Amino acid sequence: MRADEVRGLSDEELAKQLEEARRELFNLRFRASTRQLVNHREISRAKKSIARMLTVMRERELAGV
């Protein structure tokens, strides 16, 4: 998900997407440890997606102050 798409989400939707992304990262790490993960780039993509969401959440927090 791109940054402009993340910024378009409401706070509740953003929190829900963040939870899903973290669950996805957990599953990817689990699959990697059991050698079932074919494309290891998915882990870094999931991490970057989580970072984008956290950045937008922090921007909103600072803008509200």
Residue 19 near residue 62, CB atoms below 8 Å: no
**The pLDDT value given to residue 65:** 66
**The pLDDT value given to residue 43:** 97
- Residues 54-65 pLDDT 10s: 999 999 999 986
Q: Where do the domains of the chain lie, and which CATH numbers do they carry?
A: 3-64 (1.10.287.310)
**The pLDDT value given to residue 3:** 87
Q: Is it the case that residue 5 has pLDDT exceeding 80?
A: yes
- Residues 27-42 pLDDT 10s: 999 999 999 999 999 9
pTM of the model: 0.90
C-alpha 43/C-alpha 41 separation (Å) is: 5
Residue 27 near residue 52, CB atoms below 8 Å: no
CB contact set of 8 (below 8 Å; sequence gap of 6+): none
